[in-house]
Structure 1
Amino acid sequence: MSIQSAIVLDRLTFAFPGDEPVLDGLTASFAAGRTGLIGANGTGKTTLFRLIAGELTPTSGTLTVAGNAEVGYLPQNLTLRTDAQVADLLGIRPILDALDALEAGDADPAHFDAIGDRWDAGERALARLSAVVGTLGEPGDLRRRVARLSGGETILTALVGLELARTPVVLLDEPTNNLDAAARDRLYALVDGWRGTLLIASHDLDLLERLDATAELRYGALTVYGGPYSAYAEALAVEQEAARQAVRTAEQRVKAEHRSRMEAQTRQARSTRQGRAARDKGDVKVVLDFRQNRAEKSQADDRAMHAAREAAARAGLADAEARVRDDDRLTLTLPDPQVGSGRRLAELRGTDRSVVIAGPERVGLVGPNGVGKTTLLRALVAGEPSHLPADAVALTDRIGYLPQRLDGLRADRTPLQELTARAPHVPDRELRNALASFSLPGPLATRPIGALSGGERFRVALAALLLAEPANQLLVLDEPTNNLDLDTVEALVGALDAYRGGLLVVSHDRAFLRRLGLTRVLELDADGGLTDRDAA
């Protein structure tokens, strides 16, 4: 049975004025159901969403939504629309405004048209909000500003609005960024029961694992794999092993063709020497000339044949190599932070207990949004009181801090200059080699940081932390995977795996935390209490 295509792209091209195309000749389709969209930062996922949502118009090609269905779009910056009301997120503000006008005595027929048959829209929305969001559900909440909502409340409210409106096609762009565990669980529950076509761009593996299909946007091509992310990863592993085997076979063919060409040249050289010897012996010239001309033509044809076969073999090798992914995997040699097992690095002071981070411990700090996790980290790094029930004290002066916003990097510096400032006694050549290991080779190493992509700037910040001299004894990371593509998350995991100091990480990304091999997880509550949780 064929699967209905909900969205069809035919040679779709889009370029912002004066720029190179973001998408160029993209042909693909998304089936009805729930699909995860993955791809490196900068490949055009958000641009594709904006095209599907109708916010942008294709430069050329076509984009078709089955039945011209309405498309709902939740962008990454939804939480920044602080002046909007909850009613706006729910899509019922015109109805509420009309109801208020009627209640005030304004009987304009336009108000009745706005309401239609949805006189109970507010009550239905409040009931669903109460069930899904939990923190909303009172009549006055419908007029609350987005500025007064948490990120989770904002995203979930907008989803409830699309759900109630039964929007046929919905696009979610990184919906779990900055959501705490409880909000993520509520969003997962909504996704599990979603009816209609749902397309989600995300690096959240727990979310991607709940979907029906996985689509990858890579180098301008869109490939759709049946099944969740794990099925995609398994299929990709099989595909890549076949590609690597094809490379090995192609390499052997190149060697064989090269050897054959060299042997042919050796035979030709031997034949030429024999001809010269015959001429020296005084053989009949006209016969020798005839033989030489025939031999030279044959040798030229033979050389051309062998050269063509070797060129074809090399072209085949290049094609095979192009199918093998060279996605970044960091293999690092880092400075030794010299952190013994008993070395005390930091103390977290809750209202009920204090916890000391000692030696190369790997500690995760979790808790609901708004309890002060980021404030606690800043108190630890800056050495100032947190002014919260909980506090943190540094027990070493060698702490590397990666904030949610990479505001510690100077845009006018190059990555090489940034590392030189952090490790002034390390030779220039060593720093260049180190940057190359972070996938920041020659040209990128000397480009202004302000001109780098988000993923590249993140690598600069990470390299500056890990390669500093003297080495940082404690790394403090605040939501490091926000807005990172899966390849960069993989690189981050690899880099941290090579680090031998202490680690304190705040993250709502449970899949990421599981991969870090945490020795303990601490949960901070609103009262400043600290609770040990199972690191698994």
Structure 2
Amino acid sequence: MPVSPSVVLHDVSLTWPDGTVALDHLSTAFGRGRTGLVGRNGAGKSTLVRLVTGELAPTTGTVTTTGPVDHLPQRVHGAAPRLPSGTCPPAGREARPTTPDTVADLLGVGPQVRALRAVLGGDATPAQFEAVGDDWDVEERAGAALASLDLGAGAALGSDDLDRPAHTLSGGQSVLVAVAGIRLRGRPIAFLDEPTDNLDRRARAALLDLVDSWRGTLVVVSHDRELLEHVDEVVELRDGSATVFGGTYSAFEEHLAVQQAAVAREVRVAEQRHRAEKRQRVEAETTIARRARAGAAAASSMPKILANERRKQAEATAGRLRSGSASSEAAALAAAREAGRRLRTDDEISLDLPDPGVPATRRIATIVVRGRATVVQGPERVAVVGDNGVGKSTLLDQLVGLSGARTHPLPDTTARAHTGHVGYLPQRKDTLDDDVSVLENVRRAAPAVAPAGLRNRLARFLVRGDTVERPVGTLSGGERFRVALAGLVLADPPPQLLVLDEPMNDLDLTSVDQLVAALRAYRGALVVVSHDEGFLERVGIDVRIELA
């Protein structure tokens, strides 16, 4: 017997309060097993997930599930609050993002832990008992879940760390702890939104093992090719509709390549037919004109009544010829357009980083690791690598002059920029103000550029139309990245040093290619943190600094 799907979206539409359509009459389903949810940045993947988890309510249509749903958000440190299934945010607005305060909150058991401690401390109110429920061993189970994690860099966690501030963990450690929380809660349906972002190789291997052994319904939203080879089914969101393919992502790509090659041939044939029909119509018009001239010459030497009869016959013949030619051309044009609609021609970001004119002899920055200094000079490209939790992001914070956000575990390690023109793209994209519009965020980097000019330039980053006026907090991860990147590119004066922390996070594969090309052409200095060796190789790294 066929197995009923675990999640069903039927004729679902979602319109933001400003009138922007996020999803339009979408129908799809997710069954038991592992599904990869893919699509270009801004296709609506994260929005779909938030509809399934109940954080958003559809404008029209229905979302049904066979059980409780758990969710690893795209931005763990800025995750939207989890609302009970079937509820929605206050009318006219999204759920506001919240930041987990402690490791217990990151695990998703913070309220239970605090209520349990309150009861044990003498606060035996009904509200505290209700918060604990039947979970009286929550601290022991949470500690065991933390102890099972391989966080690297000697960063073992246990029950004593439940009160540890969440922001002291690296991005990769935060993801692993949050996934451990999903396992701890054991709900039958789980959605993981870009779970491999920020993970080092060891952590990625652990996550892949977890995906392979997952029981129940698991949907992973990802651009990660390696992760998508561990799924049983692929669902692609594109142009408001969903395509389901049984198999891994590489099999889906092969299927799509064969399909698109056939469509491309169909387009060529249809266009050739249209051109042929157009030529035939021109030839028909030429024939009609020639016959009309010959008929007019002959009519001058025949009786008027006969000439009129001949003229009527000629007009009727010309009308049939003209109508038939026009009809054939119109049909050929319609066929060409229909075939063209099925041919994928995706927009791409247009990314040209400005030339800051950095001379080769200019000292741009100094990075000291365990007493060993590296001087970044001229347009050098430096990669900072190492396991999760060794302090890579903290080192970048120091380099750009930030302090107090995280603690640094390495002794004798400092970083300082020697230029004031620094562009910083942090791992969590928290340089953006979620409460103000895209346009206002970018204007802060380029105050001298008129709004109309900024709109034109934002369009090159595929940020167009009403999206420019939307609050940044309503954007997808890929859209946020493009806005943050636009702020760097449009900065005046242009940055002499670009500092990028895991820049591939949230980007679709085509946009990654554009970013690589822009960084290779950039003539300023670059310091980048990435776990992706292929990306570093393509960028052309001159110096590697390894933290351990």
Sort the TM-score into its range (normalised by shorter chain).
Answer: 0.7 to 0.9
Deviation at 1:82, TM superposition (A): 2.6
Aligned residue runs from structure 1 range 120-269, under 5 A: 122-133=139-150, 135=155, 138-142=158-162, 146=166, 149-179=169-199, 183-269=203-289
Which range is displaced more, 202-211 or 316-325? 202-211
Partner of 1:302: 321
SS state at 1:317 partner: helix
SS state at 1:247 partner: helix
Deviation at 1:277, TM superposition (A): 0.6
SS state at 1:22 partner: strand
Q: Which amino acid letter does the alignment assign opposite residue 19 of structure 1?
A: G
CA distance in 1, matches of 2:145, 2:170: 18
**RMSD across aligned positions (CA):** 4.7
Partner of 1:89: 107
| 1:75 has 2:73 as partner | yes
CA distance in 1, matches of 2:440, 2:99: 33
Partner of 2:511: 488
Partner of 2:81: none
SS state at 1:43 partner: coil
Partner of 2:63: 63
Preserved contact between residue 215 and residue 224 of structure 1 (Cα < 8 Å):
yes
Preserved contact between residue 98 and residue 114 of structure 1 (Cα < 8 Å):
yes
Alpha-carbon displacement from aligned partner over 1:238-279 (angstroms, at most 9, x marks no partner)? 333333333222221221111010000000000100110101
SS state at 2:6 partner: strand
Deviation at 1:32, TM superposition (A): 1.9
SS state at 2:218 partner: strand
Deviation at 1:52, TM superposition (A): 1.6
CA distance in 2, matches of 1:432, 1:143: 45
Preserved contact between residue 445 and residue 488 of structure 2 (Cα < 8 Å):
no
Partner of 1:318: 337
Q: Which amino acid letter does the alignment assign opposite residue 521 of structure 1?
A: R
Alpha-carbon displacement from aligned partner over 1:431-483 (angstroms, at most 9, x marks no partner)? 99987765579x799x6797896756755664675588987654332333344
CA distance in 2, matches of 1:255, 1:465: 46
Partner of 1:36: 36
Deviation at 1:188, TM superposition (A): 3.2
Alpha-carbon displacement from aligned partner over 1:94-128 (angstroms, at most 9, x marks no partner)? 599569858979799x9699776x77665444334
| 1:291 has 2:310 as partner | yes
Aligned residue runs from structure 1 range 377-388, under 5 A: 377=396, 379-381=398-400
Preserved contact between residue 15 and residue 22 of structure 1 (Cα < 8 Å):
yes
SS state at 2:260 partner: helix
TM-score (norm 2): 0.75
SS state at 2:346 partner: coil
Preserved contact between residue 351 and residue 514 of structure 2 (Cα < 8 Å):
no
CA distance in 1, matches of 2:131, 2:443: 63
Q: Which amino acid letter does the alignment assign opposite residue 491 of structure 1?
A: Q
CA distance in 2, matches of 1:332, 1:143: 43
Deviation at 1:203, TM superposition (A): 3.2
Distance 1:225 1:500, change over 3 A: farther
Partner of 2:54: 54
Preserved contact between residue 6 and residue 29 of structure 1 (Cα < 8 Å):
yes
Q: Which amino acid letter does the alignment assign opposite residue 237 of structure 2?
A: L
In structure 1, runs of 5+ residues without a counterpart are 526-536
TM-score (norm 1): 0.77
How many residues were matched structurally?
Answer: 513
